[in-house]
Amino acid sequence: MAIAGIILSASAGARAGLEAVLSGRAGILDVRRTPEGAENGGLVAVVEQPSAALQTEFKALRDLPGVDDLHLVFADYGDDMDNQGHMACPAHEPRRCASDGDAAPKNGERA
């Protein structure tokens, strides 16, 4: 299992609905609102998933209605590491921001 701390950036109007969705979602251990005036206003969540499913869960959370972006704060894959502290990395996927729409970066472009 992997555990991660994330911030879901969202407008003040979207936060209550997102909080309700996240609170009932499997694998979400805790959900809190960011402090008033925080640089990334939204929700802070603790996610626990099998490491092979964590990236897919991040994408699903990022795509929830009202989410502007997902920020990874902390991740621990400790249970999945070998005795030397190594683990296989997932394949890279281009990053998408809500402000970019569905446009994926083209060859050589930065997201």
Residue 68 lies in a domain: yes
> Which range marks the domain in which residue 50 is found?
2-80
Total domains in the chain come to 1
Residue 24 lies in a domain: yes
| Phi, psi of 99, rounded to the nearest 5 degrees | -70, -15
Beta bridge partners of 76: 3
Residue 86 lies in a domain: no
- pTM to 2 decimals? 0.73
The whole-angstrom separation of Cα 47 and Cα 41 is 18
CATH number at residue 29: 3.30.70.920
Structure tokens at 28: 């979400």
Residue 61 lies in a domain: yes
* Cβ pair 70, 5 in contact under 8 A: no
Per-residue pLDDT of the chain (111 residues; tens, 9 = 90+): 889 999 999 999 999 999 999 999 999 999 999 998 888 889 999 999 988 888 899 999 999 999 999 999 999 877 666 677 666 676 777 776 666 665 555 555 555
Residue 19 lies in a domain: yes
